[in-house]
Amino acid sequence: MQSSGSRLFSVSALVVACLLLSRPALGESPAFTIAATNVTLPSNGNAVSSAFTLTSIGGYAGQVRVDCAYSGTAMGARVPACGIFVNPVSTLDANETVQGSLTLIPYGKAIGDGAASVGEKPRFGLPMCAAVILGVLLLARGLRRGVRVRNLVIALAAVILAAMTACASGMSGTFPYTVTAVDINTNATVSAPFTVTVP
């Protein structure tokens, strides 16, 4: 015959086991997937769209926020800004596939309605380069008028002008990006890579 303490322990253990079994396992994958297409920006510098596909798995239904971002190493590149700038939340019904588009905007283009220029950080390359050139030219007036000094000033000015051009135009190449989908209630997250080529 069981004592009341041992019966209470058995019932408590059974309740705890039921609760643990009814909860989803830790680390369980989210019940949806996301993918985006690789894109190339047009040479005219306009924005471009990358199509994404959000797919429900195993009857999942919910609201999912989709976003994207550059995922490469920090290198000072002025890579295109990426995102969904209007209504980034998609409603996903059970076993449904939803399609949408990510907008990629070249560095320096405005995002409508007077928004600031896009980029990783505000850049002051052009004014700084101009100030350095002006300083070098003023300094050259006070130095000897020898050929060496003049050649040094010209070479330095050429280097600074090349840097100004690079600052103003951004970089070209193929850059890695990541599209991310997050369930707004559970924070379950999935992501997938795609690339953006800047001519």
Q: Which DSSP string corresponds to 119-154?
A: SSS---HHHHHHHHHHHHHHHHHHS---HHHHHHHH
User: Does 146 share its domain with 91?
Assistant: no
Residue 51 forms part of a structural domain = yes
Domain that holds residue 37: 25-107+171-199
Three-state SS for 44? Answer: coil
User: Does 33 share its domain with 82?
Assistant: yes
Summarised one tens digit per residue, pLDDT across range 150-167 is: 665 565 555 444 444 444
- The proportion of the chain whose per-residue pLDDT surpasses 90, expressed as a percent, equals 44
User: Does 93 share its domain with 178?
Assistant: yes
Pairing between strand 189-198 and 62-70?
A: unpaired
Q: Dig out the tokens for 143 from the structure.
A: 């130095």
User: Does 147 share its domain with 182?
Assistant: no
Average pLDDT over residues 175-187: 96
Residue 4 forms part of a structural domain = no
User: Does 158 share its domain with 179?
Assistant: no
Residue 47 forms part of a structural domain = yes
User: Does 176 share its domain with 92?
Assistant: yes
Summarised one tens digit per residue, pLDDT across range 97-115 is: 999 999 999 876 654 433 3
pLDDT given for residue 45 in this prediction: 84
Summarised one tens digit per residue, pLDDT across range 17-70 is: 544 444 444 445 679 999 999 999 998 889 999 999 999 999 999 999 999 999
Q: How many domains does the chain have?
A: 2
Which CATH number covers residue 90?
A: 2.60.40.10
Residues 6+ apart with CB under 8 A from 42: 48, 199
